[in-house]
Amino acid sequence: MSRLLKEPIFYFLLIGCFIFLLDNLINDNEEDREDIIVTTEDRERLIAQYTQNWGEPPSQETLDKLIQEYIDSEIYYKEALKLNLDHNDEIIKRRLRQKYEFVAEDLADIVDPTTEELEAFYKDNVDRYLSPARLSFHHYYINPDKHKDVDGRASRLFDRLSSLTPERIDDRGDNGHIPTAQTQVGEKEISRVFGAAFAEEMFKQPVVGWKGIVGSGYGLHVIYIDDIEQQMTRPFEEVRDDVMVDWQTDNRALFKQELIKSVRDQYKVIRQDG
């Protein structure tokens, strides 16, 4: 959190605080009659809200009513505050706590990490940015509906194909609905398409080349593995967006935690509950 000290926003806040306090001191003695100010922004906001709810802008008459309602509710609000009606109200307390938390989150988001900070975060959490192991392979399918001796057909196809490389294949087996060439697929994707047992078998010590015959719920498949990608760390540039989201999520939580810790110190808790 020490980097906050280097942030311009920080000094802006300090100055703001000062002005705020000053303003409170100076304006302590105001005249009795209070102002309710309706600004152009207030008016525009009322129009926008109404339009969003009803799909069309309010008529002049409706707008007058909306403004009058706004004025009334400001008056009620101020009067209620004078009577301390906001004290000990659970809903108001909860709402304010929530707003406070929102502001804290926004405040945390104001601080954007530098690339160096992101890279450091990436290095500390590198296990979050692993790519799963993936295979590229060809499968030549044997549909049991089409052959009396399925195993025989499979081993004959394997014998014939295994003397060839995929480019020279002349018998592609039966046409299924799964493309013969599968490129860069992980265990999850393979499982989704060929079933879990098949996927597990495929990842048993895979070696580039002819693997043999693997069964699935669809029948038998003669398998050639073209390429194996081991599980590895994805480079920072590739996952930068993910790192950013993770950094923000972590930072928000950390910031809130630190904030509440420090605010707590300003209170002396007196337990009178026996």
Partner 1 sequence: MRLSIIGSCLALLLLLSCSEQQKPAPTAKAKETANSSEATTAGYNKNRNAYFGDLHVHSSWSFDAFIYNVRTSPEDAYRFGKGEMIQHPIAGDIQNTRPLDFMSVTDHAEYMGVMMQMLDKESPLAKLEFAKKIKSEDRAVSLEAFGDVGRSLARNEPMTDLTEKEVISDTWQKQIEIANRHNEPGKFTTFPAYEWTSSPTQGSGPQTELYAANMHRNVIYRGDKISDIPFSSFDSQDPEQLWKWMEKEKAKGIDLIAIPHNANMSDGLMYDSKTYDGRPIDAAYAQLRIDNEPINEVVQIKGQSMSHPLLNPNDEFADYELYAYTFAVGVPPASKPQGSYVREAYEQGLAYKKELGVNPYEFGVIGSSDGHNSAGPVQEDRYFGKLGVIDGSPEVRLQAGERGGRFLRSRYMSAAGLAGVWAEENTRSSIYSSLKRKETFATSGPRIAVRFFMGDNLENLNFDDESWIDKAYASGVPMGSRLESQKESPDFVVWASKDVEGANLDRIQIIKQWIDKDGQTHEKIFNVAWSDDRIKDNKGGITAVGNTVDVPDASYTNTIGDITLSAVWQDPDFDSSQSALYLLRVLEIPTPRWTTYDAKALGITIPDDLDATTQERAWSSPIWYQP
Chain positions contacting partner 1, by CB under 8 A: 1, 4-5, 10, 13-14, 16-17, 20, 45, 49, 52, 54-55, 90-91, 94-95, 98-100, 102-107, 143-145, 174-177, 179, 184, 188-189, 191-196, 198, 216-219, 241-242, 244-245, 248, 258-259, 261-263, 265-266
Q: Tell me the one-letter amino acid at 158.
A: F
CA–CA dist 180, 194 (Å, integer): 12
Nearer to partner 1 (CB atom), residue 27 or residue 163: 27
Q: Are strands 232-233 and 219-229 parallel, antiparallel or unpaired?
A: unpaired
Minimum distance between the CB of residue 10 and partner 1, rounded to whole angstroms?
A: 7
Nearer to partner 1 (CB atom), residue 14 or residue 207: 14
CA–CA dist 45, 52 (Å, integer): 10
Residue identified by tokens 């002049």 is 60
Nearer to partner 1 (CB atom), residue 4 or residue 63: 4
E strand map for the chain: 130-131, 134-142, 181-186, 209-216, 219-229, 232-233
Contact 194, 218 (CB under 8 A): yes
Q: Tell me the one-letter amino acid at 214.
A: V
Nearer to partner 1 (CB atom), residue 160 or residue 256: 256
Minimum distance between the CB of residue 22 and partner 1, rounded to whole angstroms?
A: 12
Minimum distance between the CB of residue 13 and partner 1, rounded to whole angstroms?
A: 5
Minimum distance between the CB of residue 17 and partner 1, rounded to whole angstroms?
A: 5
